[in-house]
Chains A and B, each alone.
Chain A
Amino acid sequence: MFAEYFSLILEFVKAFAVGGLICAIAQVVINFTDLTAGKILVTFMLIGVVLQGLGLYQPLVDFAGAGATVPISGFGYLLANGAIRGAERGFFGAVTGALSSASAGVSAAVIFSFLMAMLFRSKSKKS
């Protein structure tokens, strides 16, 4: 019983540490290069794609769980993973695999963004 709780807590700690570390690395890049948010997101997404293409991101996902999939590099991992799995089915799988694996995220972003945009309006910043 105790060991079960311990491994559960350990999972959360690992997710926190790895996820936090990825964000901290991104912050270091921002601090030293003045890259804007959009470029940071693209860069880290591409890093995820490349790492998974080389088969290096999967071990991190197995280790940290959400700590590796929640950052945008996990989105890249998802794309690459989908493409690799699609490639096993042939040419069309290789081309459609990437986006179909990411469709949950993209669809959710579009649907919820549309809803929120209908419900709320931009507020001015106080500070």
Chain B
Amino acid sequence: MTGRNRENYNKNYIDYVNSFSPPTKHFKNCLHAFGVGGLICMLGQFFRFFLENVFSLSGDELAAGTSILLIFLGTLLTGLGVYDRIGRHAGAGSIVPITGFANSVCSPAMEFKTEGLVYGLAAKMFVVAGPIIVYGVLAGTLVGLIYLFL
């Protein structure tokens, strides 16, 4: 709280603004998230079924194959400019599945390509998704170490 005009700072104002703010449509949002998220997972289940029966994959290979197919789909839809439109309506339904992870890697790569292939595309690729890798590795290693010493 510095600066002369901060004496105008008024907590009442924030409450007052909040009373005007348009309401979030909780039910509609959640329904969309449920539907789209569920469909993406069902598609994942279909890929699993497909890989299992057609390419007779199993175990880790099956899981990896499913992820790769979904990630390909996520980046393709991002490239075609479709994923952000899905995301606008689906909210968490398109953020939380692995396709959302693919979208968050692909979209900055496309966006910052204009600044070059090294400092643009490559350097900015993980600007949104980087934290997932960072905290994933930290938490995963922690779990591994705990199991090692238990």
Contacts and interface: CB of A to CB of B under 8 A. Distances in A.
Interface of A: 8, 11-12, 15-24, 26-31, 37-38, 40-42, 44-46, 49-50, 52-53, 64-67, 69-76, 78-80, 82-84, 86-88, 90-91, 93-95, 97-99, 101-102, 104-106, 108-110, 112-123, 125, 127
A46 B105 CA distance: 19
A39 to B, nearest CB: 8
- Grouping DSSP codes into helix (H, G, I), strand (E, B) and loop, the B interface class, with mixed when no group exceeds half, is helix
A15 B44 contact: yes
A83 B144 contact: yes
Interface residues of B, number: 78
Contacts of B100: 37, 41, 72
Interface of B: 24, 26, 29-42, 44-49, 60, 63-64, 66-68, 70-72, 75-76, 78-81, 84-85, 88, 91-93, 95-98, 100-102, 104-107, 109-111, 113, 121-122, 125, 128-129, 131-133, 135-137, 139-141, 143-148
A94 B98 contact: no
Where chain A touches its partner, the secondary structure class is helix
Given A112-B102, A116-B79, A40 B95 contact: yes
Given A16-B39, A71-B37, A30 B91 contact: yes
A12 B110 CA distance: 34
B109 to A, nearest CB: 4
